[in-house]
Amino acid sequence: MDCNRDMDPAHQVPEGADEQTVNALGALSKALETTERARGHLYGFHQLTGTADFELGEAVRLLREAGHDEQALRVERELVGRNVIPGHWTFQLVEAYNATYYRPFAAMEDDIVGELAAGRDHLFEARLKAARRTHRHPNHTATPPPPEQ
């Protein structure tokens, strides 16, 4: 079956890109998607840790109001604003991850898709869609409907 025949041009496998190349680009794309998920977890870690720090501030206030100044001072001195690793708050971990790993990874994937597939993303998935959809079914169309005029 010619999967290209009813795909939008943006997802047609370009001339010269064989099945092995499409599979390799699919694996590269999947690895980047996994990295995107890891990055999301890192941002979640960043936000949760920041929220916990503000909640510690509230605990300090409540401990003081309850007459537990010594305990409030210990929490404030030892935990509020503490580094998560030596010298780093979570925003610095996010910045380092983005600069050292995420941005170079995303740029590399983009470069290779440009070199091997004329910049066409998701060729592997588009091929799966063409093979798995039910032809002539209204909810399995090959391409989006044209924009309304």
Domains of the chain: total: 1
In a domain, 33, yes or no: yes
pLDDT for 2 equals 53
| Domain annotation covers residue 87 | yes
Inside any domain, residue 79: yes
Which residue type, as a one-letter code, is found at position 99? A
| pLDDT reported for residue 98 | 98
Q: Looking at the domain assignment, is residue 82 inside a domain?
A: yes
Q: 81 in a domain, yes or no?
A: yes
Domain that includes residue 29, residue range: 19-132
Q: Is residue 8 part of a domain?
A: no
In angstroms, the CA 89 to CA 119 distance is: 37
Place of tokens 């100044």: 69
Q: Domain for residue 10, yes or no?
A: no
Is there a domain that residue 139 lies in? no
Q: Name every residue whose Cβ is closer than 8 Å to that of residue 125 and which is 6 or more positions away in sequence.
A: 26, 29
CB contact at 8 A, 85 and 93: yes
Please report the pLDDT score of residue 18 as a whole number.
Answer: 87
Q: What is the mean pLDDT of each run of 10 residues along the chain (149 residues)?
A: 64 84 94 98 98 98 98 98 97 98 98 92 84 85 82
